[in-house]
Every structure is written in structure tokens, then in C-alpha cells.
Amino acid sequence: MQNLISDPVSMTSCRQEAYLLRLRRQFPFVYVKTLTRTAFGRSVYALQFGSGSRKLLITAGHHANETITSDAVWQWLFTFCNALLDGRTVCGAEARELYHNAMVYLVPLVNPDGADLAAGVCAPGSPEYRAAADIAAQYPDIPFPSGWKANLRGVDLNLNYPARWEAARRIKKAQGVSTPAPRDFTGFSPLDQPETAALAAFTRCIHPELMLALHTQGSVIYPGPDETAPPGAHALAQAFSDASGYPVEPVPPESANAGFKDWFLQVFKRPAFTIEAGLGENPLPTSQLPEITRALSAIFTAAMQW
């Protein structure tokens, strides 16, 4: 894999902008779309490439301190594009065949505001930092800013989708979270954040056949509930497991509410998976990036071959 990372700092919105400049210069066949701007003015992007009829959507960076998966997506994308132009293989498959077999949509960093905070690049004393610090002060057991998962409004974006949202709200309220927090706050209503509203609208527009939601950690693949599994989901889960070495495990019932994957399964009734990459405590060290990139690249290849 081509190493794009020259320092140990986590993914930030500034780093993503630098990647986008390089992408536009080197690989103009990758289309870039701005989905929305966050409450603090950062852009959420979608990328598109491929000429196949089957659409694959990959999302990363819903959670602020899990954006090593965003770095892995960018690593894979540049590696794939170079292999495509050079006529080489990726994970044992011909890049050109993969390109013609699938239409790939990437949203590499759903939560750029939170990512910048968790990475430590929001300037102390800035309005956004002060707002987050005021929220974090109510939760002294959560490290600040490294333990931050939410956006800068204190909403956990992966608990803000209209799939059993009320159940998620009840569960989190019983756990003591009913207002903006570093993690686990569902928002005041589904899709009340610009990031989630834009991603949901974009997903409805493109109607993907398959969706992968990238998180950390656990090195595990979570499909949807068995009783509602779409056709082909079990075979795909096994293919992803064989490719990556990650086991397939049932999703904990209390975690199957208000997430992006939960909403996708409810609306589209098509295969969708949460991939929990890496091992340890978030935020994972960048020393795990090569192995995470290897595992995710293998899964992406299997998904494009489907």
C-alpha cells in the first residue's frame, strides 16, 4: 500500500483537503461532490468512481475519534487509482476489472468537525473548542478531546438516524445522556444535524445495492439482524470475513438503533455491514493503519467483485 501518512497525527479536515487537491490533480476520473457544510463550516464530501451498474457506498468517520478508517479509505483509494492507471492488481484482483464491475461512492469523513477536535487541531480558546469544552466538563470521565465521538454540537451522528431512534433515545437517557455530550447523545430529533441529513439524502439519491459503514474497534464484521437479513447478506458477510480475517458476529441488540446501517437496512432492505476495524481503545494509534488498510482493502475488493 502507498503510504500517504508522513506524521502520527490523526485524520483532519485539513489533511482531507490536501488529499482532495492531490486527487483532482492525479486522478480526474474520480468525481468529487460537496454534500454539505457542517455547523462550523467544514465540508463533507462524497467521491465517485467506477463504471459498473452495481453501486457500493462506503462511509467512514461518523465518530470523531475513529477516523483512522478515514485514513485507510484514502490509502486504499490512491493505491487503487494508481493500480488502475498502471494496469496492476489490487488484493489479487485486476483493478480495471473492479473499476468496470462497480460504481463506488465514498464518504471518507462524515464528521470533520469532531475529527478536528479529537485530533487536537481545534485551537484552544476558539469558539468551537470552548463550546466542546463546556460540554465535556459535564463528563469528566471521558478524556478530552481524545474521547470525543460526537460532532461539535455534541450529537453522536451514528445515533441520529430515523431507525428506532426513539428506542436509542430512551436507552441513552436511561444511561444518563439526554443533552449534548462527547458521545451517545442522539440529537433532539432524527436527522437534525447537517451531516446526517445530507448523507441520508445522498444515499436516497444514489440507491446503493451495498453499504459498508466503517468504525473502530474490534476487528469484527456486524451484519444486520438475522431475521431481517436481505438476500445475499450472509454470503457477503462470509466473503468479507474470508478476505479480511475478521469474524462475523451478531450485532448487540442495544446497538441496533438509530445508526446509519440500521437506517439503510430499514429503508433499502439491501445488504449493509458495520466493519469495526483494529483493536484496542479509541483513538487507535496510527501504527495500526497498515493492518487496518490491508483488511479494509480486502473487504472493498470483495465488495466490488460482488
The residues annotated with a catalytic role in the active site are 276
Beta carbons within 8 Å of 271's beta carbon, 6+ residues apart: 209, 210, 211, 223, 224, 230, 232, 233, 236
Q: What is the rounded CA–CA span in Å between residue 224 and residue 80?
A: 28
Report CA Rg, the chain: 18
CB 94 within 8 A of CB 106: no
The distance from CA 10 to its chain's CA centroid, rounded to whole angstroms, is 14
Instruction: Identify the three-state secondary structure at position 140.
Output: coil
Q: How many CB atoms lie within 10 A of CB 40?
A: 19
Q: What is the rounded CA–CA span in Å between residue 259 and residue 161?
A: 6
The three-state DSSP-derived secondary structure of 33-96 is EEEEECCCCCEEEEEEECCCCEEEEEEECCCHHHCHHHHHHHHHHHHHHHHHHHCCEECCEEHH
Instruction: Identify the three-state secondary structure at position 223.
Output: coil
